[in-house]
Amino acid sequence: MIIDIVTIFPKMFLSIVGESIIKRGIDKGLVKINLHDLRDYAKEPHKKVDAPSYGGGGMVFRVEPVFEAIEGILGCSIYPENKKNSQTKVVLMSPKGRQLNQKMSRCFLKYERLIVLAPRYEGVDERIRYIVDEEISIGDYVLSGGELPAMVFVDSLVRLIPGVVSDQESIKCESFEKNALDFPHYTRPEEFRGIKVPEVLLSGDHAKINKWREDKSLEITKEKRPDLLRK
């Protein structure tokens, strides 16, 4: 999979592509992440990519540099003459988008290439949405820009690519995979300051352990996220 991130702050992404799970996926050749500075596609003096909104309001990303960036990445005109390859999707990080969840992240695995737009200021010129396939939000709150949401989206996606996480079975049991939260985890020591590891986890009886985990997962979900069970 190829992920192109379009931003005015590409250096913000260097930490996530150079560390941990995402770096492992890159090193294994399972994902390629390209960082694109939107200012490189600006034709305005001083590489300006934003302008005041008509009618009054804050600054928004201008339509021309965004179109130029996406067409430059793909190497062809994409609107209105041509359509993008069906295996390529343009994603806009936006408070107006659908809220990201595990199921959505899994759905994006089927595409060969994603172009992720991380806007700033008050958002984007509305005409940019003509070339956007999906708008994604990470929650009902507003951040300074789309960089952090883009990082969250990319991380949630890359770790699901087969082979990136060495223990694929562990992913299947994670929170939200079955509309439930994860069960509790324990490790050494068996007792710490009077708090003991549940005896069933030390029994070696995998049937009982699995039953305990299912029960605890249901119990925690009922307590903390009953809305998941209603789904």
Domain ranges for the chain:
2-158, 173-230
Specify the pLDDT at position 172: 61
The dihedral through the CA atoms of 14, 20, 21, 26 has a sign that is positive
Instruction: With a cut of 80, say whether residue 192 has pLDDT above it.
Output: yes
* Contact criterion met (CB below 8 Å) for 158 and 25: yes
Instruction: With a cut of 70, say whether residue 170 has pLDDT above it.
Output: no
Euclidean distance between the first and final Cα of the chain, in Å? 31
Alpha helices in the chain (DSSP H): 14-17, 20-27, 63-74, 102-107, 147-158, 168-172, 206-224, 226-230
Mean pLDDT of 79-83: 59
For the domain made up of 2-158, give the CATH fold.
Alpha/beta knot (3.40.1280)
Mean pLDDT of 173-192: 85
Q: How far apart are CA 221 and CA 171, in angstroms?
A: 18
Q: pLDDT band for position 149 (50/70/90)?
A: very high
Q: How far apart are CA 7 and CA 37, in angstroms?
A: 5
What's the pLDDT tens digit per position in 84-129? Answer: 678 999 999 999 999 999 999 999 999 999 999 999 988 899 999 9
pTM of the model: 0.86
**Beta-carbon neighbour count of residue 89 at 10 Å?**
18
Mean pLDDT of 202-215: 96
Architecture of domain 173-230: Orthogonal Bundle (1.10)
What's the pLDDT tens digit per position in 20-74? Answer: 999 999 999 999 999 999 999 998 888 999 999 998 888 999 999 999 999 999 9
